[in-house]
Amino acid sequence: MLFRLPSEEELTDHKLNEFIAKHDAECAFRFKYLKDAYETDYQIFHQKPKPDYKPDNRIAVNFAKYMVDTFNGFFIGNPIKISVDDASDHIKNYVEFLDQYNDQDDNNAELSKICCIYGKGYEMYYVDELGNIGITYLTPFDAFMIYDDSVLCRERYFVRLYMDSNNVLHGSVSDETKVRWFTQKGKLIWEKEEKIHGFDGIPASEYVENKERTSIFEPAMSMIDAYNKAISEKANDVDYFADAYMKVLGAKLDEGDLEHIRDNRIINLGEDAEDVIVDFLQKPDGDATQENLIDRLEKLIFHICMVANISDENFGTSSGIAMKYKLQGMSNLAKTKERKFTSGMNRRYKLIFSNPVSGMKADDWVKLHYHFTPNIPSNVLEESQIAGNLDGIVSQETQLGVLSVVDNVQGEIDRIQQEENQKAEYTVLGRNENSILEMITIIKEYAERNGEEPVDVFNKILGEGVNGNEE
């Protein structure tokens, strides 16, 4: 759901209350449903209980959590690397400080997980009590963005909400210049204090999983519920067989006989037992049908969500090319999310650099480039062979980019150049040392042949030079 307000229309109390009511409804009916699925609270646990005489197993397989954690680890398990197109280091140093100050690697991972679960998440920027810029993430339960009704869908207001211990709703509204705070008690009560936030725009960004803002597992929720129902009934059938009824035909047993059979597990029906039938009632066996349904649902769930089932026993034995084909669907999802995440990060640093506290120029953010590295198993031997075959065909940067062990290609090139320079210096020094030793040997031999002291010969060389006819 997108909250939109025409550009010429101001945000009134009535309109804000309307947006809050719509947000509450979406939280109650959609976001809570997705949150419950991730936390293993499925529909199977809320079905009407069966009669006491029937087994009533409730089993839930948490595909939602598996797919969220697997895809999120694939997408951002390796932290995002940021490079700078600038000869000076002041932008790079500030970005490194900002990310470390706010523990941004963890923030990025949590924000990505929020997008996986709910389809969208928010990031808010502020100046803390130490005068540094802070960054924090928010779930769709905690905030929403209001856009204009133009084609560009520009941000107009950012609303943050929270409940106090008395279940009273509080919140803040940020526009392009200031932040205002309110309390909802039947009507909106605004605080007198307003604060200029210092950012050139709404101090928040919306991150989305995809254009539709859908959860990664949301398209398969009906199949997940069907899977949980099928596997629960499978467990019920196992209980049915474990508690099968015994039938005795051709003989009438009294209560004492039944208790004796139950306690001692011995049946003794006398001499006329030839016409007596004793066995268990058999329930129709639907095992094959159930297994086919469970297998089909499991494959469809992973297929629809496009997340690889890495627990598949055949997955780990695949070659490099086969592995890439199995991860193709998840790679496509990651590429789409990478573009959406890049857009959000561009807005992040554009807003932060616009604040005078940062000390950056407002347009320095265009010099930042983000590098996403999928977290997948790698065959270093195969990669090194490919890199070796590319020698002389492509640039050194492209050649090193093939290797997964190299996380910073330019830094690796600089280190290689530094090592080559050091080797050249050692070579020159070694040659000089050999030349000096050879000269000392020659001086000693000359002095011995001519009955002179080596020191005198050395001084002669420095002062007058040795006769050219002599050695």
Residue 296 binned pLDDT confidence (cut-offs 50, 70, 90):
very high
Q: Give the pLDDT score at 466.
A: 47
The mean of the pLDDT values for the chain is 86
Residue 368 binned pLDDT confidence (cut-offs 50, 70, 90):
very high
Q: Give the pLDDT score at 380.
A: 73
Residue 203 binned pLDDT confidence (cut-offs 50, 70, 90):
very high
Residue 43 binned pLDDT confidence (cut-offs 50, 70, 90):
very high
Q: Give the pLDDT score at 470.
A: 45
For the chain, the first-to-last Cα distance in angstroms comes to 96
For residue 304, count other CB atoms closer than 10 A to its CB. Answer: 13
Work out the average pLDDT over 246-264. Answer: 73
Work out the average pLDDT over 347-352. Answer: 96
Per-residue pLDDT tens over the stretch 443-470? 788 778 787 887 787 777 766 554 444 4
Q: Give the pLDDT score at 469.
A: 44
Work out the average pLDDT over 301-305. Answer: 93
Work out the average pLDDT over 186-201. Answer: 93
Q: Give the pLDDT score at 132.
A: 95
Structure tokens that stand for 165 in this block = 């211990």
Work out the average pLDDT over 416-426. Answer: 76
Q: Give the pLDDT score at 32.
A: 96
Q: Give the pLDDT score at 283.
A: 67
pTM: 0.78
pLDDT at 162 over 70: yes
- The domains of the chain are located at 3-217+334-358, 245-281, 417-463
Higher pLDDT, 413 or 146: 146
